Structure 1
């Protein structure tokens, strides 16, 4: 028997309402200012029970609040909540707004279990998304890069394009040495590589890409900023494996 899921949409419901679904139950709440939904392990004291057999899940692990026309999720538990696009929401951080449509929330429990809480914020049409079997496929939103930016990021992110397990960016010094081989007269240096990459991070961050600023990832930063940048560029098909032909001159 197929398990119920909100990923396919919800039946016709009041615009702005939220539907929450876990293995333990389902709840639909209309968009009333100040209304809250609590979720966590303690079934008698929460509105939606999740992870009730797992002591790693807090008794009240999070709260959903309707404020200013939107639903906001807060973490009140000990462990972080994983949101889409590899974003983590930690205890006492600022609430995160849920977009219209489907959002899965994951709480990691004991023995690498992950407990799923599905959320669906109903749009103004009040129902399921339209079926579009024959509609043209929307192309991915590729980011515009200058030729220099494109080359630097292919060099920096070549491990991602080679499908390595758990890839990491090259260091800016490694990238500068490779670029100097590819373009001997272009005066590539580690500082120029960093300035080029930082400009792309700033531009994409201003366009709404999360995880490209120090305050968004926390300390120690390590490779997190460039890792998040490269994952965005690969997932958006801005960088693709055929770009590795730019490195053929090294062979």
Structure 2
């Protein structure tokens, strides 16, 4: 067991809201010093203040921005031993489609495809690699442990819906790199696991019409509701604190299997 306490420093990307905010709150509740990495300065500052942590404005697609965020966090809180990656974006558009009005044909814009890959997949790996390099400087603890990481994929990695080619590719990449990264870092005592959330009641979902949310909730086998960010945080905490949890990809989805559309 790797207990989270007042000596723990944790970095949470996308920590200003949703899944990241809930996880940051769970870590802070156990005494951890949290650094919120996020693009949203207003929300990030508010969340960090509420949790007694610090905010580092961060664009995970920008090398200098990520370097500056880690430098600030480490100078103010110390070297992190926990990294939780929740930063991500999504969009929906068919690979190629025909207009219902004039019959014109278009394909998925490749710059948009690349943007989603850069944020979700490359951005995650960038933070993982830089955090791992920092964790290597820590003195090993019980079982030689130096740190734990939790990455965020999606059920779309395994059953992506129509229009989700880019999003599914980015999340499938996170699933695909989890075990190799865990193996890369095994001799240094750094564990890596990934959560594949289903349909969660995040700020993005909260803006949807109620009838849409009701339909989505009804599609979940059990319980018939949207997931709560606190439930993601609970699983993330288990992955962080259970020292034998390593190299795993775990769905958290109420047993849903997404339909084609």
Check whether TM > 0.5: no
Relative to the length of structure 2, the TM-score reads 0.23
Greater strand share, 1 or 2?
Answer: 1
Relative to the length of structure 1, the TM-score reads 0.23
